[in-house]
Chain A
Amino acid sequence: MGFVEVRDVWKDYVVGRVRVTALRGVSLDVDAGEFLAVTGPSGSGKSTLIYLISGLDVPTRGLIRVGGVEVSRLDQASRASWRRRNVGIVFQFFHLIPTLTALENVLLTMELAGIPAGKRVERALELLEFVGLRDKADRYPWELSGGEQQRVAIARAIAHNPPLILADEPTANLDYENKLRIVELLREISNSGKTVVFATHDVELARKADRVIRLRDGVVVGSEGGGGAPSKISP
């Protein structure tokens, strides 16, 4: 049994009058500290899987357990409460809160997680240092480039020290150099003992993970070991 257990998960969406099945009986395990990439073409169900594991959504059928907690059975409020302590999410479009600076975006997660106020700024600055943006701590999101915004988003995702990091196409909107940098950061986070699951349609980037799961039409069609190498840096 892995740190993340996904068992026979189905997910249906109703779009207008049409019922769309995004996942069809997906099962997988992710070990603690593992760096897992989920790949597949657009519409294959990658994002859906990320959202289900994060507790943002619940499966139509099946079970999802993270760190022994059956997330799919929690109600909405309990999932939110669980998420604020156990999960960090990185989005494709960064989604930094536009009215907060880079530093404040990082502080926000810590405030929500109830980390003592005295320790927050120091840790937030350390994390911004880790992603190479300490000098831009007081910038608003729109004053940062796409790559910089995503790095702040990564700092935000790990600020409250969650055991699980989920990233949904975190490199899709970035240039090649920034893509590599983001994946390196995720690798470093994984090396520090955190479980990282990231969805990407970029096969080459996916190979940098410990393991790659391939999805197509909501079904797992393959799993293989990645070629990623451990890093020395730890957040």
Chain B
Amino acid sequence: MLLVRSALRVVVWKRLETLALILVTMAAVVAPASLAIIKSNLEYQIYELFRDVSGDVMLTGRIPSEALTALKGLEGVGSVNGMILTFGLLGEERVLVGVMGHETFDSFVKLYVIREGRFISGPGEAVVYRAMFVRGPEEMPRVGDEVDLVVVTGQEPVLLKLRVVGLATGYNHIGPTPFMVVIDEELLGRVMNYTITAVRLEVVGDPRGVAGEARYVIESLGGSVSWHVVNVREENPVVLIVESAMSVMTLPVLIFIAMAPVLSASLGLATVVRDSRNVAVMKAMGCGLWELFLAYTLPWVLRAAFGALLGFILSPFIARWLYLNYFVAEEDLSRALYERFGFNPYWGTSAYYALLVLGLTLLGSLIPLAVAYRVNVVNVIAMVGLHAHPTPKAGWSMSRLVVLRMWIRDMVARWWKTVGLVVPLSLLIGLGSSGVMLSNGVGEWVKAVEDRSSTPFDAILTISTVESPERLLELLDKLGYVKRYFASTPYSLASAIEGLTFVELRAPVKGDPSVEFPLIQGRYPVGRGEVTVSHGLASYRGLRVGDVLELRDTFGRVHKLEVVGITRAYHDRGFQLLLTQDSLVEITGYRPGLGRAFTVKVAVELEDPHRVEELLERLKSDVERAGPYGVEVISRSSISETFKAYSTMVTSIATILSILASVVVAVVAASIIVSDISARAREIAVLSSLGLQSRQLVLGFAAQLLIAVIAAIPVAYITSKIIAGMLAERTVNFAGYIEPVGGLETIATATTITPLLITMIIVVLATTLTVRRLDLVRALSDI
């Protein structure tokens, strides 16, 4: 009990050490826990958002109306809602159109944000939705406008005269195209006759099993299914994107966690060495491991426990504050999600990180305990003068640079201090350097896309049509300014490869695949079960020509594809897989275009590379005039700009995180050095008595810090490779696989050096203050 009391006194008396560890432990809990809490909330909300629009299962295709009754009878099906999901033209603007009845609308349109006007109350009214991440034209109808909407139905286009009663954001689709909701039972029956193009099921139990049965029911009633989605929380593609995005932030802050045990170990060791005579006396009195634990580990555990407790309590509140101020911000949809679902504090997550940090800090403080346990009682008690630590005798015969040697040898003798400095510094440098490596990786994308010889296409057109694409392709063949093109049908497959939200399957329709996918190795697929993969996917999954790639479809079936080639995709977002039309049909189960509009992607190489903008305008216009085609054009330059923005974003994130980390590292490093100064007060006083000035002492400690930085560089290089690799894996779902590029030179960049300088300045200031406040006389008098 006396030793517990003693430990408590140590905590109170050694205020600097107490404050440093409490702050670092608290930061180590708050940083990852608050992000994890935000992540869990976003995942839940996005899952619910998806569920709002798609239910647990959504199927699209030619679906007979009697199928609705049949689906209601399926085991596990809670509710069934049908609607038309198609596209139309609003003037010249291509829009997605959801046509549904009142009952359907009332049952599942729950999440909406009206920015202006009001919600729909009857037929002939429409609300126009602007989705998240808008990329489309800014010109939108205004409230009160009478609009003509041409709905593409698969038969004759239908003209609807509607009055816009509200403008909204959010709703439940994510994409660049504006979306219109039309409530019109009559339209449902009149336009589609006996068909319904989308059916939404709410399911109790296994949605995957119900999806398979629903498909069987629809097909057995003469209908067909062209696409379906199963909304399972763990496999929800957008949830995976959120997880991936949040991981990018969570990974670096995990470095914070490492700081707590490093600090407790380093300061604990300094204490044990400083108090080695006390340790020896305790051992001489018969104290064992438990008593030493109480004396030399318990104070650190108590400090860490207090910091972890504060972190545990604060994390949910900080998470909520960050969420409201930085994640929700002005996003109306996020606000709506927050208002509908609230913010779950996830105390369990907070507790998990608090216990993790506490456990690691306890482990860290066991190192000084081991050293204390090994103290040689006789040697230590017999020792007189300054504390001695074995040091190498290297260079002892040199007469010069004795002061420098003294500082260097001190770093060897007090290795725990050196390790305590090197570890956080290497993590700090490694973090900045990894950001530079990733930024360089995106830079390679920019180079590739800007180099016409490496990526021949000038633009990628996404063309939607309700008819067979042959007429479109004939048109392309006739256009003199188009040198080459490659047309393919895309199909996005969610969660087909473990860890990836989507892969984009591409089956050639016509043209030269090398326009979009130049071969690096192997050949293009010619038979069923063959595939070429992008270079990024090959790097990410370690695939080579001849390997087998397994894809899982949304029904859970596994398809084995032989890799016959590796292509230089201009980027790897979506991981394009090129396979034959037969393979595509086999994997998806659908013939392209059946029951829905065709989507054809066309990569175009123009004859005149100097008139790209002009020719692309002409191309868009020519395609749109040729038929009811919706055309989106992404030019090479816009892709390049997007990649440059990625590069800036990666560098900015790395810089911000590094600067945040630099403050934590500065606290750790300053605590270690300040504690070292306190422990060596007498030695410093002796040096001062020999004539060493305060600034020379500070310079000595600064030199030690600089040596620690130099020693940290090799470790930092390895760390940066590891961090960059991990970040690349985690960004894969929202930016594609960015292969880290760069070597040691990435350490000498502003992103790396700035936080390092911040750390060094803070540490030197703390050192100066401590040295100046040192009471030399007391240090010399204190026996």
| Of A93, A112, A141, A156, the contact of B692 (CB 8 Å cutoff) | A112
Residues on A with C-beta less than 8 A from B783 are: 93
> How many contacting A-B pairs (Cβ < 8 A)?
126
Residues on A with C-beta less than 8 A from B391 are: 98-99, 140
B121 CB within 8 Å of chain A: no
CB <8 Å contact, A83 and B406 = no
CB <8 Å contact, A81 and B402 = no
CB <8 Å contact, B402 and A108 = yes
User: Beyond A51-B780, A111-B403, A140-B391, is A104–B691 a contact (Cβ under 8 Å)?
Assistant: no
B38 to A: closest C-beta gap in Å: 48
A81 to B692, CA, bound (A): 7
CB <8 Å contact, A95 and B777 = no
CB <8 Å contact, A96 and B386 = yes
A170 to B: closest C-beta gap in Å: 12
CB <8 Å contact, A91 and B780 = yes
B399 CB within 8 Å of chain A: yes
User: Beyond A98-B388, A99-B406, is A117–B400 a contact (Cβ under 8 Å)?
Assistant: yes
A7 to B: closest C-beta gap in Å: 20
B450 CB within 8 Å of chain A: no
User: Beyond A98-B386, A109-B690, is A120–B399 a contact (Cβ under 8 Å)?
Assistant: yes
Residues on A with C-beta less than 8 A from B387 are: 98
* B379-435 at interface with A (beta carbon < 8 Å): 383-391, 393, 396-397, 399-403, 405-406, 409-410, 412-413
Residues on B with C-beta less than 8 A from A76 are: 693-694
| Of B399, B403, B686, B687, the contact of A91 (CB 8 Å cutoff) | B686
Chain A interface category by residue count: 35 or more
| Of A54, A81, A104, A117, the contact of B693 (CB 8 Å cutoff) | A81
A84 to B689, CA, bound (A): 8
Residues on B with C-beta less than 8 A from A142 are: 383, 388
User: Beyond A111-B403, A117-B400, is A80–B691 a contact (Cβ under 8 Å)?
Assistant: yes
User: Beyond A146-B384, A149-B384, is A57–B402 a contact (Cβ under 8 Å)?
Assistant: no
The interface size of chain B toward A, counting residues with CB under 8 Å, comes to 41
CB <8 Å contact, B396 and A95 = no
B152 CB within 8 Å of chain A: no
B566 to A: closest C-beta gap in Å: 57
B600 to A: closest C-beta gap in Å: 75
B781 CB within 8 Å of chain A: yes
A85 to B692, CA, bound (A): 11
B624 CB within 8 Å of chain A: no
CB <8 Å contact, B693 and A77 = yes
A191 CB within 8 Å of chain B: no
Interface string of A90-109 (1 = CB under 8 A from B): 01011111111101100111
Closest to B691 in A: A84
A89 CB within 8 Å of chain B: yes
B376 to A: closest C-beta gap in Å: 12
A113 CB within 8 Å of chain B: yes
A146 to B384, CA, bound (A): 7
CB <8 Å contact, A107 and B689 = no
A140 to B397, CA, bound (A): 13
B375 to A: closest C-beta gap in Å: 14
* A128-174 at interface with B (beta carbon < 8 Å): 138, 140-142, 146, 149, 156, 168, 173
Q: What are 11 sample pairs from A and B whose C-beta atoms fall under 8 A apart?
A: A47-B781, A76-B694, A80-B694, A89-B689, A95-B780, A96-B385, A97-B683, A98-B387, A98-B389, A109-B690, A124-B399
Residues of B with Cβ closer than 8 Å to A? 383-391, 393, 396-397, 399-403, 405-406, 409-410, 412-413, 682-683, 685-695, 776-777, 780-781, 783
| Sample of 14 more A-B contacts, CB < 8 Å, known A51-B776, A101-B393, A117-B400 | A56-B685, A76-B694, A77-B695, A81-B691, A91-B686, A93-B384, A95-B683, A97-B686, A97-B687, A98-B389, A99-B413, A108-B406, A109-B691, A142-B388
The 8 closest A-B pairs by CB, nearest first: A84-B691, A142-B388, A99-B409, A95-B686, A98-B388, A94-B385, A80-B693, A121-B399
